[in-house]
C-alpha cells in the first residue's frame, strides 16, 4: 500500500490529516522541520523548501499533503519555495498533491464565499495565498502533477493556535475574558481542524474528476461569535466574559509582537459576515462537519491537558 506523505505534520491541520489517515488504516509518513512525534507514523525531519529532500522523501507516495504553514515573518520566501518543492516532488512520484488552503484571497465579500467567488484580496497575506493557489492549479493544467485544493475558513480545534484558539478557550479555562476579533453578533462559520483533516483525505482518495479545482471543506451551520463563546462557557461550566479585540489593543500589539503585526491585517474578516458555502463538498463526499458542541468539548479538553496552553493569549485580559 502506497504511503501518504504529510508535510507540515506538526501543525494543527497536518496532525489532523495524520490522525485521519491512521483512522482509515493508511500508511503515513509525517514530515516537519523538526522530527514530529505522530503515533503510528514514519516520522521524518526535513525542510519543506529543500526540493531534493522532498523529492526523496515523497518517492513512492500515493498522495502528498501540503500542510506547511511557515511563520508569518518568512511567508514571502518560504511558502512559495515549499510549494514549488512539493509540487515537483509529488509530480516526480506520480502522487496526488493535496493543498491545505484558506479563504484570505476572497477579501471583503457581501455574502457566502463559494468556490467561484471572485478573488479580490485586501491583505498582503491574501495576495500571497491567491498566488500560491494559482501556482498549484497551473501545475495541474500543465499536466505536471495531479492537484486538488481544500480551502477552509478560520481554523479552531485541538492542536490549533489561531484567533479562535487561546484567546477564547484559554479564557474559558481560566475564567478570564474571551476576546472576539470583531463584531460578535455577525454570522460566521469556522473550520474545525479534524473536519478539515478528514476532508483533505477525502480529496486525496477521490476520483480524478475531483482534481484540478478548489473545494470548500465542511463547516457546521452558521453561528455568531457571541453564540460560540456562549457554547464554550456552557461546556466549561463557568461564566465567560465576552470582550473584543479593540483597535487600541491591535495598535499596542503591533509595536511589541511580530505575529500581531502580521495577523492584524486579517481582522477585517470579522467585521463582515464570515460565511463559507460547503454545499459542493457535502454533495460529493462523506465527511460532515462536527457539531459546535462536540468540537468545543474536544478543544477544551486539549487546552486543559497542559496548563501552559491556557497562558498563551493573543491579547491580555
The per-residue pLDDT for range 281-313, each reduced to its tens digit, is 999 999 999 999 999 999 999 988 876 665 554
* 148 alpha-carbon distance from chain centroid: 15
Whole-number Å distance between alpha carbons of 76 and 296: 33
Q: Closest by alpha carbon to 36, among 59, 61, 57?
A: 57
Burial of 141 (0-12, 13-18, 19+ CB in 10 A): exposed
pLDDT of residue 314: 47
Say what the pLDDT of residue 104 is: 94
Q: Which three cell numbers stand for residue 181?
A: 476579533
User: Residue 172 has what pLDDT?
Assistant: 85
Site of grid cell 529543500: 50
Taking the model in full, what pTM does it have?
0.93
Closest by Cα among 26, 214, 228, 199 to 105: 214
pLDDT at residue 245, as a whole number: 80
The count of other CB atoms within 10 Å of the CB of residue 165 is: 25
- Give me the residues of the chain with pLDDT under 50, please: 256, 313-317
SS3 call for 17 = helix
Q: What are the distances in angstroms from CA 21 to CA 26, 101, 204, 210, 255? A: 5, 19, 10, 19, 42
Which cell is 24 given?
A: 482509515
Is the CATH number of domain 3-155+190-216 3.40.50.720? yes
| Structure-block grid coordinates of residue 154 | 478560520
Question: How far apart (Å, rounded) are the C-alpha atoms in residues 6 and 58?
Answer: 9
Closest CA to 274 of 134, 41, 103: 103
How far apart CA 31 and CA 20 sit, in angstroms, is 16
Query: How would you class 50 by CB atoms within 10 Å of its CB: exposed for 0-12, middle for 13-18, buried for 19 or more?
Result: middle
Q: CB–CB of 103/211 below 8 Å?
A: no
Cell of 122: 485586501
Amino acid at each position: 500500500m502506497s504511503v501518504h506523505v504529510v508535510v507540515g505534520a506538526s501543525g494543527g491541520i497536518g496532525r489532523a490529516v495524520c490522525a485521519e489517515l491512521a483512522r482509515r488504516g493508511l500508511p503515513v509518513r509525517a514530515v516537519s522541520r523538526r522530527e514530529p512525534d505522530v503515533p503510528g507514523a514514519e516520522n521524518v525531519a526535513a525542510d519543506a523548501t529543500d526540493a531534493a529532500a522532498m523529492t526523496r522523501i515523497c518517492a513512492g507516495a500515493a498522495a502528498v499533503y501540503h500542510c506547511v504553514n511557515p511563520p508569518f515573518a518568512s511567508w514571502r520566501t518560504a511558502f512559495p519555495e515549499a510549494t514549488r518543492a512539493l509540487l515537483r516532488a509529488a509530480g516526480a512520484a506520480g502522487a496526488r498533491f493535496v493543498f491545505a488552503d484558506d479563504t484570505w484571497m476572497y477579501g471583503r465579500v457581501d455574502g457566502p464565499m463559494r468556490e467561484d467567488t471572485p478573488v479580490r484580496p485586501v491583505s498582503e497575506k491574501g495576495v500571497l495565498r491567491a498566488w500560491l493557489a494559482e501556482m498549484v492549479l497551473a501545475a495541474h493544467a500543465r499536466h505536471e502533477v495531479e492537484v486538488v485544493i481544500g480551502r477552509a475558513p478560520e481554523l479552531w480545534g485541538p492542536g490549533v493556535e489561531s484567533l479562535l484558539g487561546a484567546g477564547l478557550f484559554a479564557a474559558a479555562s481560566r475564567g478570564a475574558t474571551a476576546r472576539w476579533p470583531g463584531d460578535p453578533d455577525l454570522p460566521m462559520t469556522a473550520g474545525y481542524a479534524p473536519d478539515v483533516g478528514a476532508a483533505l483525505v477525502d480529496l486525496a482518495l477521490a476520483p480524478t474528476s475531483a482534481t484540478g479545482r478548489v473545494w470548500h471543506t465542511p463547516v457546521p451551520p452558521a453561528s455568531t461569535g457571541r453564540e460560540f463563546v456562549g457554547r464554550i462557557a456552557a461546556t466549561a461550566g463557568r461564566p465567560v466574559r465576552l470582550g473584543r479585540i479593540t483597535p487600541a489593543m491591535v495598535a499596542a500589539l503591533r509595536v511589541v509582537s511580530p505575529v500581531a503585526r502580521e495577523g492584524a491585517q486579517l481582522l477585517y474578516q470579522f467585521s463582515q459576515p464570515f460565511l463559507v458555502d460547503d454545499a459542493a463538498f457535502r454533495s460529493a463526499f462523506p465527511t460532515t462537519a462536527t457539531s459546535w458542541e462536540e468540537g468545543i468539548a474536544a478543544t477544551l479538553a486539549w487546552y486543559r491537558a497542559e496548563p501552559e496552553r491556557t497562558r498563551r493569549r493573543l491579547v491580555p485580559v
